[in-house]
Amino acid sequence: MSKKYLIIILIFFTFNILAALAFYQQKTIQSPRVTFLNVGQGDAALIEIGNDMQILIDGGDGKNILDKLGEHMSFYDRKIELVILTHPDKDHMGGLIEILKYYEVEQILETGIICETAICQEWDKLIEEKNISVKYAQFGQRIKAGNIKMTVLYPFENLQDKKAENDNESSIILRIDTENDSYLLTGDSGFKTEKKLIDENINIKAKVIKISHHGSKNATSNEFLRLVNPQKAVVSVGKNSYGHPAQELLNRLKNMNVAIFRTDEEGDVIFE
Ligand SMILES: [Zn+2]
């Protein structure tokens, strides 16, 4: 057989294998799928809508996130439609720097608070270099993607170029509604922001809550929990010296009969 025919046959088989793999992945992904990724001490949540639309909320710290997306996304999909940075702390933002380097990101949603750390400078530089469109989060914004609806519940006002008293308390808080489920993602916000949401009578009720600040004792108050009224709670946490998750917090959840899913114990926590 001539070399030319051999190459043609090889290309034909490779193409078939790739097509079969793509078909297999298409068959296995339920939509939408919400995954709280085990990225160690930090936060990262991936929302997949169909096979080729992804929303990534925070990215943990470091390169972990690249392996995680490698596990969950098709190898030929190098695009993330929306990246949300809840607040510019390393355990949420570090991994997103890697994402900006190695993936095509269509849109970013962030608060835009003043941040002059080295990591923020790198973030701004990458956004400019890659010409990524940025929107600034504000209460009431809605994002519709396929069969999911996301609503920004906090910050109440546009914080672009404003100085935040406390990074954690400036976190974007999101509510995600799918056909059958609802999720509340609170970044690293604490009692102070929770109280603002309660005082303003914001609808925070959700079936699943991503527990704030890796299970800190200074977040997720009893009053807040009662209003969210969740069935399930996800604690995104890894090895740390802060005492996360705090026993006080775990007790609050147990007292309300909320099922607890910890990324350090269960690995990726998937809802579909
Ligand atoms: Zn954090």
pLDDT of residue 27: 44
Ligand 1 centre distance from Cα of residue 16 (Å): 44
- At residue 194, the pLDDT reads 98
Give the pairing of strands 142-145 and 148-154: antiparallel
Mean pLDDT, rounded, for 157-186: 96
CA of 42 to the centre of ligand 1 (A): 5
**Which domains are seen in the chain, by residue range?**
29-271 (3.60.15.10)
Find the 28 Cα to ligand 1 centroid distance in Å.
Answer: 32
List pLDDT tens digits, range 255-269.
Answer: 999 999 999 999 999
User: Tens digit of pLDDT for each residue in 48-74?
Assistant: 998 889 999 999 999 999 999 999 999
- Ligand 1 centroid–CA 43 distance in Å is 6
Q: Which whole number is the average pLDDT over 205-212?
A: 98
CA–centroid distance, residue 173 to ligand 1 (Å)? 13
Determine the Cα angle at 256 with ends 252 and 258, to 5°: 95
Tell me: the pLDDT tens digits for 230-251? 999 999 999 999 999 999 999 9
pLDDT exceeds 50 at position 166? yes
| Cα 213 to ligand 1 centre (Å) | 5
Q: How close is the Cα of 15 to the center of ligand 1, in Å? A: 43
Give the 3-state secondary structure of the chain: CCHHHHHHHHHHHHHHHHHHHHHHHHHHCCCCEEEECCCCCCCCEEEEECCCEEEEECCCCCCHHHHHHHHHCCCCCCEECEEECCCCCHHHHHHHHHHHHHCEECEEEECCCCCCCHHHHHHHHHHHHHCCEEEECCCCCEEEECCEEEEEEECCCCCCCCCCCCCHHHCCEEEEECCCCEEEECCCCCHHHHHHHHHCCCCCCCCEEECHHHHCCCCCCHHHHHHHCCCEEEECCCCCCCCCCCHHHHHHHHHCCCEEEEHHHHCCEEEC
**Rounded mean pLDDT of the chain?**
92
Confidence of residue 19 (pLDDT cuts 50, 70, 90): low
Centre of ligand 1 from the C-alpha of residue 92, in Å: 6
Contact (Cβ atoms closer than 8 angstroms) between residue 246 and residue 271: no
Q: How many CB atoms lie within 10 A of CB 90?
A: 15
Q: Is the pLDDT of residue 8 over 80?
A: no
Predicted local confidence at residue 52, as pLDDT: 84
The Å distance, Cα 146 to ligand 1 centre, comes to: 29
Q: Is the pLDDT of residue 24 over 80?
A: no
d(CA 231, CA 206): 8
CA of 188 to the centre of ligand 1 (A): 5
Q: How far is CA 55 from CA 14, 46, 103, 108, 145, in A?
A: 30, 6, 12, 10, 9
Maximal CA-CA distance, the chain: 78
pLDDT surpasses 90 at 3: no
93 CA distance to ligand 1 middle (Å)? 9
Exposure of 52 in the CB half-sphere (CA atoms within 13 A): 8
CB 124 within 8 A of CB 115: no
CA dist 156 and 138 (Å) reads: 6
State in Å: Cα 73 to ligand 1 middle.
24
Tell me what pLDDT residue 133 has: 98
